[in-house]
Amino acid sequence: MVWEFDHPPEVIWPLLSDTARFNEAAGLPKHRIRQEEQPDGTVRFFTEAKVGPVLLAWEEVPVEWVTDRWFRHERRFSRGPIAVLIAHAELEATPGGCRCVYRMEAAPANLIGRLLLATSFFSSTEKSFSALVEDVRRFAAGASERVFTPKRAPLDPVRRQRLERIVADINASPNGHNLGNRLADYVLEAQETDLIRIRPRRLAREWREDSLAVTELCLEAVRDGLLESRWDLLCPRCRGAKLTAHSLDQVPDAAHCESCNITYDRDFSRNVELSFQPAPAVRPVQDGEFCLFGPMSMPHVILQVTLEAGDARTVPADLAAAAYRYRTLETGGQCDVEIDGPAPAVVVAGAEVRAGPPSAPDTVTLENRGEVRRTLVVESRAWVAEALTAHEVTTLQAFRDLFSNAVLHPGDQVSIAQIALMFTDLQGSTALYERIGDASAYHLVREHFAYLGRIVRGHRGAIVKTIGDAVMAAFAEPSDAVRAAIAVQKGTQAFNREQGGEAISIKIGVHAGASIAVTLNDRLDYFGSMVNLAARVQGLAAGGEVVVSGQLAEDPSVAPLVTAGRRERARVRGLAEPVEVVRLPGDPVAEEMSDGG
């Protein structure tokens, strides 16, 4: 089969190489995978499925591919009329776009298989695939919203009324962003391949919407019954979700990946991902796989090629300047490389993986110097960019508002590699209560909490707690914390004008570093020396100022934000040596206020 396209390979590749989506659209059934570890450290994958009245059983051979170039998919059957089935697709650029040459090879297992292959098998497959290719062309041309559109899931009157109520609740909430109807249509119309793990960032990119808005939408949809949440403990080596929990307190502190043969710890910052799937009452999604392996099931993998022992191969491949990881699909080592020019060869020798001499331009040389067959992998190290980690989602205000009971087990704690904290306090709050009375001062403090909350939420943060008239807020990204602090000070005069009475002045400190997450007073909180220092940095600020720790000011995302600040060294309680800070002028109120708070 030869198909011509009016778009270049990089546009057509993710559509044709999405083997799971293609198989679902072709009407093939889902199946469950059974893994069997071999004495030589490799892992084999077996499965069964029923196609009509015929029960099939086969071994799923890991797919080989080079992104934007080609893929090869092989299945070896132990039951059914076919013994071996191989699909090979190759893309090549043409002056007007690209061409795909698609070949299928099959060997019969018995007389029925011989008759099938001699009559209708290839012609019916070509007819089915050609129809799907027309869908690809329409999508690439922008004529359809989805590549393949399955039949909309039917709704009985009760489920339809339930869905209408859910959508109304979503749209009425501050987290809906007028996207409730669109999400409901997506749940009813999208392929199961899309729905088994809904990633808000990917969905936002497809919809061309703000990622924070889509994340808040999905969180609200869980609360209102359209979606369910799933916490996946991802293997840091192969990215597979080895354990899944439906609540944060059920996520175990470690897991074992059979494919990579490693045991790994829970890391909120890297390998605990929150994703979503439809609530069964709206649309049940069947467990299983349409295709375990495939280029778009692991889009961070640039190439995956199998070599026999002692073999070497050079493959055409375009590796842009970036950070990559060399490894094997099987148990073994790994090697991180920075590529800015010819790609180093991938050399495997037993359990060792290392970078070899430079390959020829626009190619990668692969060498298996070991004694067993190995599948060599080159992957982008930016694979976590699309994952919504537990660390990030627990620092979102919408999550804390909607799921205040989402906590860790009592006594459990999780290390956080880096979190940014913003502490605020009112200058002269004691005097404020004396001047205007308890009731008026309390009202003003509450209004100022709401003001801070709006800014924190708008900068992808969350208020962890209030302490008197002070606030502790958390951010996954350091620059978001500093931008939020600056925004608070720039908006304080406008806030005071809106209140029309007594003016307030806010003192802010921001610091970032490693911490631990724990459950305290039935909520997620943060503890450690970093938290203590963040609070003391705030104590160095005067009204209208933002004080940023020197350590945080050196962060590449923060440095451009603090160029106008004044660097100094200051003593803080509890530390023997002075600490470096950057003092940013804010927008203090004009009148003098004594520091009684």
Asked whether residue 88 falls in the same domain as residue 210, the answer is no
Domain boundary among 290, 324, 339: 290
Q: Is residue 149 in a domain? A: no
Lookup: tokens for 116:
């099938």
CA separation for the pair 222, 195 (Å, rounded): 14
On whether both 257 and 314 belong to a single domain, the answer is: no
* β-strand pairing of 461-467 with 97-108: unpaired
In this predicted structure, what is the pLDDT of residue 261? 65
3-state percent breakdown (helix, strand, coil) of the chain, nearest 5: 30, 35, 35
pLDDT digits (tens, 9 = 90+) for 72-85: 999 999 999 999 99
What single string gives the DSSP state of each residue in 383-447?
Answer: GGGG--BHHHHTTSHHHHHH-TT--PPTT-EEEEEEEEEEEEEETTHHHHHHHH-HHHHHHHHHH
Q: Is residue 150 assigned to a domain?
A: no
Look up the CATH number of the domain holding residue 36: 3.30.530.20
Domain range holding 32? Answer: 2-140
pLDDT in tens, 441-484: 888 999 999 999 999 999 999 999 998 899 999 998 999 999 99
- 3-state secondary structure at position 130: helix
The ranges of the chain with pLDDT < 70 are 41, 153, 237-238, 240, 242, 258-261, 264, 269, 292, 383-385, 405-413, 415, 417, 522, 586-597
Query: Do 313 and 183 have their domain in common?
Result: no
Our count of domains for the chain comes to 4
Three-class SS state of 454 = helix
Do 448 and 576 lie in a common domain? yes
For residues 136 and 175, membership in a common domain is answered with no
457: tokens are 């939420």
